Structure 1
Amino acid sequence: MSDQQASEVEDLERVFADVSKDTIQISYGILKSITKNFAQVIGSGAFGVVYLGALKNGMVAVKKLSQSTQDLSDTQFLEEVKCLKRVKHQNIVRFLGYCAESHGEVMEIDGKLRIVEVPQRLLCFEYAPNGSLHDYLQEKPYGFEWNIRYQILKGICAGLHYLHQGRIYHLDLKPGNVLLGTHMEPKITDFGLSRCIDENQSTICTVNLFGTPGYIAPELIDKQKISFKSDIFSLGIIMARLLTGSNGSITENWHEALNTDCQQMKRCIEVAKNCVEYEPYERPTIADIVHKLNETETTIQKVPQVVNEPRNDPSSSLHQVVKTFKALSVQTLHEYSRFADIYEDLNILEHIVEGSEKPSNLSYPLLQFITENFSDKRKIGHNELGECFKGIVQIVVVTRLPGSLNINDGVFHQQIGNMMMARHQNILRFLGYCSHAVEKKVEIGGDVVVAEKRERLLCFEYLSKGNLSNNLSDELSGLEWHTRYQIIKGICEGLCYLHKEKDIIHMDLKPASILLDDDMVPKIADFGISKLLCTSDERLRQLGYSAPERMSDGVTSRKADIYSLGVVITELVTGSKTKPSITNVRVICLISFDPFFINHANITVSTYLCILTIHPNYINCLYALAKAKDILFILKKLIRKLHKNWQSFVKGNESLQPKFWLVLFKSLIWLGQETIMF
C-alpha cells in the first residue's frame, strides 16, 4: 500500500471513529482493498450490491451501485451524495464516504477483448452487526419482548421524523431498509431511491414508481403523487409487522411476548391503523406520531399499571388488543395486497415496453388500473376494434373490444399470435392482451341470473402523433416532400415485412390504421382485425380503400392490400382525404362487375363523376376490370356521356373542375385512337 493510500485509509478511520467528521471522497482502490476485492456480499437490491469492508476499528458496508444507476450524470450523483452528507442522526445509518471515478475493465466487443473505461460509483456506510429488521422478523417473528419492539418502532419514527424535517422523502421504507445496531437500535438506510425537495414543496409527481410491493402507498400507484404521507403509509405497514409478527398473525403464545402496559400497545395499534388510511390527508404526520408515542410514555410513567387480566376472558383488554391486531393484519396485509400484485404486473409491463420481455397475457386488474377502470377521462378515441384508452404510469394504449362481438376464441388467439410475432420498426408494437371472464347479474324472463361476460383487451405502444387519417390535412400537405416520401417508404416497408416475412395479409390498410410517432415514422396497426369483425356489413367497413374484388366477392389477397396501399399513397401525395359514401361504393362495384346494370340503370353524369372523383385510382381499377371482362365499350360509353354533358354538371361546382379535367384527360388517353369531339 502506497503512502497516499495509507493516508486515505487513515482519513476513513478518523471519519469512522468520530461522528462529527464530514463525509470524504474515497478512491476505488481503497474500497477494493478494504473489501478484499469485493469478496463478501452482505446484501443486494435493485440499486446495487453491498459488500463487507474491514477497518482497524471496525467493519463498514460498501455499496457498489448497479449498472442501472450509471445513467446518472456526475452532477445528479453528486446531488444525491450532497443529500446523504447532510443526514446525521442516531437512527440513520452513517454515511462515511463515496467514490465517483472511472475504472478500466476488460470487455469483449465485436469478438475482441478491449479495455473500456467504466464509471464506478460506490457508497460507504457504517456496518450494522444485527442485520436488517426483515431478517430478524423472519428468524424470530414472536421472539421480541415488547420493550424491544417498542424501542425499534420508536427509533424508526425518530429517524423518519428527522428525514422529513430535512425535506427528504425515503420512498422505500420497509423492514429490509431498517438495520439493527449493536444494541438493537434501528437505523434507516438505503437512500438510493430517496429525494431531497425544496422547502416550498409538499407534493410532487413522478412518472417512475418508487418503493416495494406491500409497502408502497396507494396514491403513488394510482396518481403518481409523492408526499411525506407516502412514507407514513409504509411506516404503518412496518408497525403492523412489528405488532403482529412477520406473517401478520397472532399465535396462541402471544401473551408470552406481552409484558407491558396494554394502553401503550393499544396506542401503537391506533397509530398504525391511522397510518394506512387510503387517503393521504387522513394519515397523521410523523410529528403527530412521535408526539402520541411520547404522550403515551408520559401517561404510563405517571400512572403505572400492571397487566393482570385473565388470559381467557374475551372481554379483557388484552383480548381486544389481539382482536385489533388481527383486524389490522387483514386490513394492511390483505386489503392492500392488490397493490403488490399490480406493482409486479406493472414491472412486467415496463419490461415489455423496454423490450427486455416479450408481449404476454396481461392481468385484467392491471389494465383496469392503468385506465382508471376504463374511465372517460382516459378515453382517447375508438376504432373498428373498440374504445381506446391511454394508460397511466406506462404510456400505452388499451383497446377494449366491445362485448357485443361474438369473437371465436380460436380466431382471437390466432390473431394475438400474429401480432406477437410481428416486430418491425414500421409495425405498431403489440405489448399484450387480456381475455377475462367477468360475472354480471342480468334479468332473464323475470329471473335474475349470473351471466359470464368475456372482456377482451389489447395493449399497444402509444404514439403521440395519432393516426395518418388525422394528419391528412393542410398540415400534412404543407410538409416537405422528403417527409411525406419517408412516410410512404415506411408504410411500404412495413407492409412488405407483413407479406414477405410473416405471411400476414392486413385486410384493412387505410390511413386510420397507420400511426405516426414523434419523428413522423409510420407504424402499421390493426392487421388481421377483419377476422375479428365478422359482421354482415364488414366488406363496406373499408370504404374507399378496399379492392373491388374484396368488395364484391370478399376475395382476400396480398394484391388487395396493394390496392389499399395505392389509395393511401395517393392521399399522401395529394394531401387530401378520401370521403366515399356507401352508395357510391356500391355503384362502383356494380359498374365494375355487372354489364347488365350499366346497360339498364340510369347512371347520371353527376353520379359517375362523383364516383371517379372519390379517388383517381378508381379510374385505373375500372379500366383494368372493364378490359379484363371485355366490357370496355361500356366504359367508353360512360366517358362519352361524361364529356357530352360536362358543362351542365361543372356549372356551379367550380371546385370540382380540376378533378374533372384529370378524369377527362385520363379517359382520352385510355380511349387511344378514338376521338372525342368537343
Structure 2
Amino acid sequence: MDHEAGTSQVHVLDRLLLDENADPTNLPFSLLQDITNHFSLDHQIGSGGFAVVYKGVVGKCMVAVKKLSNTFAVPENKFHEEVRNLIRAKHKNIVRFLGYCADMQGKMEEYEGNLVMADQRNWLLCFEYVCNGSLDKHISDASCGLNWRERYQIIRGICEGLLFLHEKRIIHLDLKPANILLDGHMVPRICDFGLSRCLDKGQTRLITKSRCGTLGYMDPEYLRSGRTTFASDIYSLGTVILEILTGVKRYLEEETVVQSWMIRLEASVGDMQLEQVRVCYKIGIECMNLDPKKRPVAHHIIDRLDNMASADCSYETGTNSSLVELHPSLSSEQLGGRLATERLRKADAEEHSKILEDSSCGAQDTKQKANQHIANILNSISTVFNKLNNLDIFNSKARMCFNRNFMRHRLEESATIMIFAKDELKPVLRNSNLIGKGPFDEVYKGVVDNAQVAVRKLYNGNAIMDDQFANEIIIWSQVNHKNIVRLIGCCLEMDTLILVYEFVPRGSLHDILYSNNKVSLSLDVRLTIAAESAQGLAYLHSQAFNQILHGRIKPASILLDDYFTPKISDFDLWGLNVRDEDPVYIVDMSYADPLYMQTGLLTEKSDVYSFGVVILELISRKEACRSANNSLARSFLEVHEERKKATGLFDKEIAVTTRDLELLDCLAEIAVECLDLDVDQRPTMIELAARLLILNRSRRSRVVHQQV
C-alpha cells in the first residue's frame, strides 16, 4: 500500500486500541493484509471450518484478524448479522470487536478453457488480541490447573457476558470452551458469533431448518425441533460450567465432583468453597434440563452466584475482622482473594509447626519404619517386573501371544462358544465374499461345517484381547433368542479378532425398505417386525444373563430371515454393562437419544428412543438419516403436539382401510412416547414388547375371523 495512506490506516487501528469506548469501524482490506504479512502461515493462530484467524501486528500491539473461508457457501446476510451482533455486543466479558471488512475484488480465473473475471469476496473481522487463548486449553480436573477461585470467577464472567447478550436479544448458539477466551487476568471473553441470531422485540424464539453447532454443547430441543430460544444458550452454559468443574465432557455425580475438590481444598478452610462447588454443580445440571422451560435464566444464575460469594465473604469476615479493618475499601471479590491468601498462609504455618512438633516427639523412628516399608514394596514390584520382563511380556508380539493364549484358555472353559482354526475361516475371508464393511469391521458370507455363516473381522481386535473381553464373548454366546443373531464362535489365530455368527439371508431392514430392489411389505409384516424386534430388545434388557444395552438400534442393525423374522445384530461386544468405565459408543445422530448426546451415558431408554425412530421408518418408509435435520421424527412430533392425525406421513402402500389407519395412528403414538425428551416418561422395552404383541395378535385374530 501507499506509505502515507498505510500509516493513516494504521493510526485508525491505533486509535481504536487506545480508546476502549471507540465504536467498531470499516477497515480496508489492504490494512488487514498488511498487518498479517499477507495472511502468512507464521501469523496464523487458529482455524476452523469457516474461518482462519491471524495475528495482526499494530505497532507494539496485536490484534486478531478472522478471515472467513469459503465465503460463497455462506449467505451474505449471515455475515451482516454477525457484524451487527458484534457491534451491539460491547461488554467486558465479550471479546472486543474493532472492525470489519467486506471487500469484493475481481480476479481472472480459467473457466471451461477461457479466462473470465470472477468476483472474489473477502470477509474479515478484527478483534482485540486475548493473550491467554481459549478456555479449553486451560480446563483440567480438580487436582491441578486453575484453582477454585479462578474457575468461579470464570463461570461468573461467562454468565455476565451471556446475560448482556440476552438483554441485547442476541442468542449466541455456539457457547463452548473453545469460544471463550481468557485475558492476562484470566477474565473470560465470549467470542465467535458466526452462528448468533438476534430476536426482534417481542420475539421469543426462532425456528431454523439448518441446525449448526457443536455436539455435546447443543440444546437437545434445538437439535430435535430447530427451535432457538435464549434457553438454548443456557443449556450450553450448563455443559460449560460442568466441564469447568470436572475437566471432562461427560456427566459425573455431584458427590464425585465435590469429593475431587475436597482433596484440593483440604489445605485451606474450604467449607464455603465446597458449598460453592455444590451450588455451581446444581446450576450446571439445572441449565441442562431437557425441558427448556425449567432452565434458569442468566440473571437468576448470577444472583445465586453473588449470594454465594457474599456468604463466603460474610463467613470469612466474621472470623477475620482485623483484615476487614485493615482494608475497608476492598470490594467483596477483592476481600475474598485476600482472605484466601491469608488462609493459605495460616495453613502453611500450621503445617510447618506440626512438622517441627512431630520431629521433636520421636517421629524419626516412624520415618525410618515407613522408608523400610516402602523399600520392601519396591523390591517386590521390581521382582515381579523382572519376571515379566524375562517372559518378554512387554514386547508387543509376545504380549499379543500371551493375551491370545490366556483368552483361548478362558473361552475353552465355556461350552457355549466354538473356537475356529485359521485354516477353517481363511476360505471365507476373500474379497469375493465381502458383504459389508464399516469403520470398525468387515463382514463376509461363507460356509463352515456345511452351514452358512457370517464372519466378522474386527479391526485392531488384539488391543482388547483380555480376560474381560473373553467374558463378554461368552456372555454373547449364551444369548439365545429367536430375534437376536446368534454368536457361534471366534478365531484367535489371526492378526485381528474374528467372530462367527449365524447367517441371516434377507439382509437388513434398511436394505429392504430403501434399496433399489426394495421389497413390498404389508402392514401385517411391518407390525410383526416391530413387535418381534421389541421382544429381542426386551430380552437383552431384562432376561439375558447380564443386562445388555445395544446402543445402535436402527434398520441397518435389524436383519430379516426368509420368513421376515427380525434378528437384531450389529452389537459392540464392549457395550455390555460389565465394565468399570463407561464405553464410548459410535451412534448415528438420526437415531441417537438426546440424553446420551448430553451426558455420554447409555441407558435402556437410549435403546427405546432409537426404537421409536425405527417404528416411524416402518410406518412411513422414509429414511430418518436421509431426512433433512431429522425431519422425520420432528414431523411426527409436531403433528402430535398439534393433536392432529399423521395420515399424510404414512406410507400410502399400507394406509388403505380405516382399520389400517387406526393401527398406524396407534403405532405413531407409541413411537412418539419413545421419543419423549423426559426419559422417565418413555416406556420400557418390556412394556413396548407387550403392547406391540397385543396389537399384533389382535390384528391376526381379525384376519383369521374375516377369512372364516
| TM-score, length-scaled by structure 1 | 0.47
**Max radius of gyration: which structure?**
1
Specify which structure has the higher proportion of helix.
Answer: 2
